[in-house]
Amino acid sequence: MARIWKEPNRGCSYGGRRTEALERLLDQGTRNPTLIPRQEIVVRVASFTFRFESMEHLRDCLAYFQQRTHPSSRIPAKELASQFGEDWRSQRWYAVERWFERLPMYLLEKPKREKVVKALSGALRLEESGKITASQMVARSKAQVDFKAFDKIMRRRGGKRPRAGDELPSR
């Protein structure tokens, strides 16, 4: 089952470098991404977390995963030179590599791909209907926590080892 929620977009949530979508926002005149609060959609499915800064990015990702076979990811050198300049070979790999080339390969296997398509479709549907909120994830997490059991375990002194009965309840 996929988890879908929203988080505040901090501007550099992908390894400390700016994404294409953030660069577009900066080019549109928003010089500081923290001045206008933005939310990013987060989808956790198949042991992988997708983060989307816009509906456009979510739709692109969904369209990519809906394809059974994918075309070559090779980009002609002339196209790279027109986008990044003649010195594109000296630039870092992440400036030239596209987002779908960094995905783990196991997500493209049929069973995982189908789960991803179902989760991304659900996220798109929820976002378009306005039903996805940041508070949903917090409420769902709080409902799953047994605070009394947690406090009981944390009050132990001397770093005692876990004992029978400390396991999480099966759902």
Residue 85 placed within a domain: no
Residue 51 in domain: yes
Residue 146 lies in a domain: yes
pLDDT at residue 138 in the model: 57
What pLDDT score does 39 carry? Answer: 81
What was the pLDDT predicted at 68?
92
Kindly give, in sequence order, each residue whose CB lies less than 8 Å from that of residue 95, ignoring residues fewer than 6 positions away. Answer: 84
125: in domain: yes
Q: Which amino acid is at 70?
A: H
Q: What is the pLDDT of residue 144?
A: 63
- CA nearest to 61, candidates 106, 132, 25, 113: 113
The confidence score (pLDDT) of residue 119 equals 96
78 within domain boundaries:
no
Q: Are 65 and 104 in contact (CB under 8 A)?
A: no
Q: Say if residues 112 and 46 touch (Cβ distance below 8 Å).
A: yes
The full length of the chain comes to 171
Domain carrying residue 52: 3-71+105-154
**Beta-ladder partners of 17:** 14
| Residue 92 counted as domain residue | no
Beta strands in the chain (DSSP E): 3-8, 39-45, 48-52
Does residue 166 sit in helix, strand or coil? coil
Counting the structural domains of the chain, the total is: 1
Predicted confidence at residue 20, as pLDDT, reads 65
Give domain status of residue 67, yes or no: yes
- pLDDT, residue 151, reads 76
- Asked if residue 100 belongs to a domain, the reply is no
| The token pair that represents 151 in the structure block | 């406090």
The helix (H) or strand (E) run that includes residue 118 is: helix 110-129
Mean pLDDT, 10 residues at a time, the chain of 171 residues:
82 55 57 63 93 90 93 78 78 67 91 96 93 64 68 73 70 54
